Structure 1
Amino acid sequence: MKIAVLGAAGQLGRDLCPRLAALGDVVLLSRADIDLSRPEAVPPAVLAASRPDVFINCAAYNLVDKAEVEPEAAFATNALGVRALAKACHAARVRFVHFSTDYVFGLHTPRRAPRAETDVPGPESVYAASKLAGECFALSEARDALVVRTCGLYGVWGSGGKGGNFVETMLRVAGQGKPLRVVNDQHCTPSYTADVADATVQLVRNGTSGLFHIVNRGAGTWFEFAAEIFRQAGLKPDLTPITSAEFNAAAKRPAYSVLATDKLVAAGVPALRPWPEALAAYLAERQNKPAGK
């Protein structure tokens, strides 16, 4: 099997590609090869040149708040670019795999039961709407496509530089001695890219198609996630829970976007470990990450 991965250098791509190597040859692609922000220029020639059996898209426009003021950019990459890629895969008889987000939910509140793949989505932001459109295009334009929704991704390869991921942001700000105010009314499931990658590889190996949720087990608010990060790291920063209204982000986030994974388990993939266990594995892995990488 030959597998092409767009966005191979990102957090998820960096964990996914080594695991995919067990299935066959992996072709690493970047924005220089395919720029989804220019859907009219998505080159079918790339598929013809690499001739993959499977094409996995890990690339996306992820600037959630900025998307509110530049919707064209979000939809170009997350919707129209995905459509062009899905159509190219269909024409070349290449299986298409695409990643989406828990943010496609949110409008149907109050809610306290994990959301299944059959639940009606309700995006509340431009970013979320663009990702939902991308899901629809992937499933409608590509034969036997696989779309994976996940949530709150963090991975060791996103731990470098300023920002990185939520875990690194919390650790960095705490290390600077600054107070932290974290929302406590948005419920989700933080998910470790290594675990999401393992489950995705199993679906790819099995030739599974359709829409699936892949997240670690359990649920918590972002404040609870932050508190657990500090507990496991042995830190006691000035941490205060706040509401989404107090945080006042430009883009609205779902109040409850915990994803159910019953369909994943029914497809023969074991449920992922609880998110606090996954966090512990991440913290251990980041200790062994080579310096400068």
Structure 2
Amino acid sequence: MALVDKTVEAATAPITHTPREYQEYPGSQYILPTDTPELQRLTLQHRTLKSMYGGRILWAPVELTEEDKVLDTGCGPGLWVLDLASSVSPAIQMTGIDIESRLFPPFPPPNLTFQIQSVLSLPADWSNTFTLIHQRLLLLALEIPQWPVALSEMHRVLRPGGWVQLAESTPWHVGTYPGRPAMEKLTALYRAASEARNLYVDCAYDMPKLLKDAGFVDIASESRMQQMGSWAGEDGEAMRKNHVAVLAGIKTPVLNAGGYGIVSSESEYDQLVEDLHREWEEVPGTDKEFIVFWARKPLN
């Protein structure tokens, strides 16, 4: 009988902690929770991202009319599509989809429906249906080989000439935060958890090629820097809270995986969250890029 490596076993054994609620969709690798604190974080994130871009939420050059339909994939609580619905004709039909319904809004307007659906397998009868498709921040949800599938599905259900608008963040990079121990730990945890789940955290760098390979044309983008800390004003303080909440949100997956040799207890993880919150305030300059992409399905 082969001997068990007790060191490896101890390093990968789940760490006891108080868990949060997570998606139960079969095969999902989404690493963030689906509970009330996450809803609060997503609300803060939407408001801050909108502020970063001067209140703008639509980049795709489309003038929506009553004949058009809009799809928001991976919508979570539907904050983006609810925002859009408030500024266009109530006759425009809009659909929000996600693989988890717990965050869906309880009382959406009559022209907006929400349903459980995966962007990896959209209904066959949706082909050539939508004028606009929106998706934001699925870098912690979709595995590397799933991105071409998702974009192909979006391309299929868009009308010829329709537009897709995607928004993603660049990742944290290991070894780029000397003298910042909390950031070094965060980055190592983030990368370890993402690699263990095969998540495409570098997708923002590759998005233009991914869109082109899926058949899209007229690909464009606009970026802003997400700055962490009150040194960057009101948006910086809000973004610091948002990203600290992201770290708090991935605690259960990290501890269930044994802490990846970086943290060894729930108290150590919670201390890291506190240290990061303080470090971003005391050491100005932490930021990373947020990029909005838009592209068109050819008329032919």
Fold match (TM-score > 0.5): no
Q: TM-score, normalised by structure 1?
A: 0.37
Query: Which of 1 and 2 has higher RCO (CA within 8 Å, sep 6+)?
Result: 2
TM-score normalised by the chain length of structure 2: 0.36
Select the structure of larger CA radius of gyration.
2
